[in-house]
Amino acid sequence: MHPARGARPSLALSVLLAVVAGVLLTGAAAPADVRVTEERISTSDGVELDTSLYLPAVTPAPAVLVAHGFGGSKASVDADARALAARGFVVLTWSARGFGTSTGRIALDSPDHEVADARALVDHLSGLAEVQQDGPGDPRVGVTGASYGGALALLLAGYDPRVDALAPVITWNDLGQALFPNRATATPPVADTPAHGIAAPDGVFKSGWAGMLFSAGNDQGRGTGANPCGRFTTEICSAYTEAATTGRLSPATAELLSRSSPATVAGRITAPTLLVQGEQDTLFGLDQADATARQIAAAGGRVKVEWFAGGHDGAAPGDAVRDDIGDWFDFHLAGTGDDPGTGFSYVVPSGVRAGANTPTSRTLAAPAYPGLPGSAPLLTTPLPLDGPPQQVVHPAGGDPAAITSLPGIGGALGSLAGRLSAFAGDPPGQSATFRTAPLAASLVVAGTPRVQVSVARVPGQSAPAEAVLFARVTELSPDGRRTLLGGAVAPMRVPVPADGGPATVTVALPGVVAPVESGNQLEVSIATTDQGFTGPVDPAVWQVGVAGELTVPVVPGTSATASTVPLAPLAGIGVVLAIAVLGWVLARLRGRRDQTPSADDGPPLHVTGLAKTYSGGFQAVKAVSFTVERGVVLGLLGPNGAGKTTVLRMLMGLVRPTAGTITAFGEPIGPGAPVLARIGAFVEGPGFLPHLSGADNLRLYWAATGRPAADAHLEEALEIAELGAALDRRVGTYSQGMRQRLAIAQAMLGLPDLLVLDEPTNGLDPPQISAMREVLRRYAARGRTVVVSSHLLAEVEQTCTHVVVMHRGEVVADGTVEEIIGGGGAATFTVDAPERAAAVLADLAGVRSVEVVDGDVHAELNGTPRAEAVRALVTAGVEVTGAGPRRRLEDAFLQLVGEDRTP
């Protein structure tokens, strides 16, 4: 599903669309022999579906339906369709009702609407001569799709026995359980299912994700203000409104979501099923695929399960998964290739990086998914928990709330929040924590850990009839680093006896794949709030304890691959920067941070032969070299497209160079490099948590470093920000200039030895710009170094001591401001006869660009000595009262870059 707000979705949501709207197979260019035809197909209820048919070189051939994700259209899966057609399949794609140019309203994969549409498309395939037929009206057909499209694949297979194979990706089993986790169901889950721990009547509303999804569908309404439902059906709109208002799941909404859940039909799916689920997914967790696998297998169906390192909060499936999907259809539809079997595989991150910036992982494979009929039972490791029962407070209104994830970036923010939990993940007094002893040996958690929790009323404290709590597991290293496993929480709604006795429940924690090193501890935290869910508004105090141990699942497997995987594409509230920030935070935790640069270090910045070439051959940076010494304020200048931002991104370890090296203080720079601990940066715009105050954002940021609060020099940073009383206001109320000043103050926390600022004066008024100028000068005067990228040439001239000018990816000038200004020979003459003087200078060999401005004569001498020009003027009878360099950086800049004049 792809949540999006407004006509111009943010980069985070655009990335999310790429993950869930249809990126399944390879994105290779279309082979010349794949033919595509467009057709609008009418359904029985009058909806028109916009379809595309992809024909391979040889027909008749088996067919594959490719369904897109929520917020997408048939265009979202074009590359997937072409790749399958290149394998020899006839492929049919379509924009689901309510999306793209198809008509109708969104009914969330309703059997009476979207599923009926897909059955009509199977009927259509049965009438095509190009499609291989198993019998009259029965085409040989498979179906695949991600998220919204994945659920449709499962539902279609459950309702239409003509489906011969399917490969659903990152999708749900029970939509009610996904959006209201841990609710009671009519059919209890299988005993070994690591899915739904607490059986409450209506679960806890996952309001963060639900709001994003409703917004995505609402956006399909083309902004019609009179229709708050967008292109949703009235039934869906009413259900969302009720849930958003009450935070509860009514029986009517439960029935509505049940009809759109593969859980209702999984027991009758007989077609071979490849279930692909993401390990980074706070929307549809591993428990959803687990439940589907068990339901299909219990009815005798053939199932293979793959977990990959991605999901709604991370990357789309990589090449290995895409190939597996293609191989699945090759064998089960076309009858070619090797039998892919019914095994289970999962990806374990190693925590080690290959080269400069690529995290490594390994894929483990088991003969079968644990606990299915005929396979080995699920193995678990008990880890005793230590800690007495503790009192926790639920604040009135549930504010402030713990922060563990944001929709679409939960994997990144959740991991970061785990490291920040002393401030953000666990607001004071709102959580009870229990720890294991340090592990004697490393282990890999693969599945859903469980813990037994007791909840009781506190004598003398009023409390409602039930407690809403949120459980999570964090890994703690001996040096204090924290990692939130899975970036997710498990909500629970627990009825608590009024007589004072405890309610004891078994909690199924979020399903994860997480290696835990020996010597580290696991911490179970039970909190009263979480920003991603709707909790109660009444204040309450509970006593929370644990009984026994934390049970973690392990799945023995053999190493199938050892590989490197790309960083998950994240963005959003600094999401593109989130991975780099996290690496920087870790570097701060690992690295030392002396307050005074050592004379034995290398220069603060040394760039040699730096180059960056992107896919497609575009060279953004070509052989850039320069050195920045201590005490310098360096201005990085260049027209738009000169490569300045790319250089800054490589400097901060956000991008790996194609060639060349960058060192800071004699140490190489790369993503996660320890030397990044000595660099403060403000690059690509500020990103703050809008519900926190400016001061709290700075404190939260510093808490991530794990260093003593005194080392932050917070008061100096707050003085730099000059925000006054606004520091105690929510950042969401700030103007652009206020955010800019706060971001610069954040970059200066800890007084880094090298400070890198990208357009620091954007949004500042003239007095603030002047103040910033003095701040940077004083900062460098203490022996530190500042690099500034700016388009305000006058400010660079007044602020910077040195300048590097880039043009078309190369350095065209490097030196002090004085050298750059005077290097081109621009001179100004004060004379008594300006017009005659201009004519004399214009006649001198090599002199050009002569002009008279406000009575002075300016000229580009181009190597002609200034004394020779004065002599020519005096000889011609012109009285010269002044002659000197034209002291404007703008003139030198324009001379250096020619016609590309936008800095």
The phi-psi region of residue 847 (left if phi > 0; otherwise alpha if psi is between -120 and 50; otherwise beta) is beta
The answer, yes or no, to whether residue 4 has pLDDT greater than 60, is no
> Residue 570's pLDDT is what?
28
pLDDT digit string (tens) for 611-634? 988 766 778 899 899 999 999 999
Least confident of 78-87, 109-118, 316-325: 316-325
Q: What is the DSSP string of 470-484?
A: EEEEEEE-TTS-EEE
> Residue 94's pLDDT is what?
98
pLDDT digit string (tens) for 249-292? 999 999 999 999 999 999 999 999 999 999 999 999 999 999 99
Instruction: Determine what percent of the chain is predicted with pLDDT higher than 70.
Output: 80
Least confident of 135-149, 511-525, 745-759: 745-759
If one compares 699 and 116, the residue with the highest pLDDT of the two is 116
165-173: average pLDDT: 97
Most confidently modeled range among 46-50, 217-221, 700-704: 46-50
- Strand, coil or helix: what is 639? coil
The answer, yes or no, to whether residue 599 has pLDDT greater than 80, is no
What single DSSP character describes residue 579? H
> Residue 478's pLDDT is what?
84
pLDDT band at residue 682 using 50, 70 and 90 as cut-offs: confident
> Residue 577's pLDDT is what?
35
Q: Are 471 and 430 in contact (CB under 8 A)?
A: no
If one compares 199 and 172, the residue with the highest pLDDT of the two is 172
> Residue 463's pLDDT is what?
84
Q: Which of 363, 364, 371 is nearest to 303 (CA)?
A: 371
Rounded Cα distance, 656 and 649, in Å: 9
What single DSSP character describes residue 61? B
If one compares 579 and 213, the residue with the highest pLDDT of the two is 213
Least confident of 229-243, 404-418, 810-824: 404-418
> Residue 218's pLDDT is what?
65
pLDDT digit string (tens) for 529-568? 998 899 898 999 999 999 889 999 998 877 665 443 333 3
> Residue 600's pLDDT is what?
54
Identify the structural domains of the chain with CATH numbers, from first to last: 11-178+262-366 (3.40.50.1820), 380-554 (2.60.120.260), 575-600+629-640+670-816 (3.40.50.300), 824-897 (3.30.70.100)
> Residue 224's pLDDT is what?
45
The answer, yes or no, to whether residue 457 has pLDDT greater than 60, is yes
> Residue 217's pLDDT is what?
66
> Residue 276's pLDDT is what?
97
If one compares 500 and 491, the residue with the highest pLDDT of the two is 491
pLDDT digit string (tens) for 760-819? 877 677 777 777 787 788 888 878 899 988 776 777 878 888 988 888 888 888 888 777
**pLDDT, mean over the chain:** 81
Residue 179 vs residues 138, 253, 493, 683: alpha-carbon distances, Å: 36, 11, 14, 36
Residue 462 vs residues 399, 491, 502, 510, 541: alpha-carbon distances, Å: 18, 22, 15, 30, 7
> Residue 424's pLDDT is what?
42
> Residue 692's pLDDT is what?
83
- Strand, coil or helix: what is 341? coil
> Residue 184's pLDDT is what?
54
Least confident of 54-58, 263-267, 642-646: 642-646
Measured in residues, the chain has a length of 903
Burial of 548 (0-12, 13-18, 19+ CB in 10 A): exposed
The answer, yes or no, to whether residue 593 has pLDDT greater than 80, is no
Most confidently modeled range among 194-198, 454-458, 699-703: 454-458
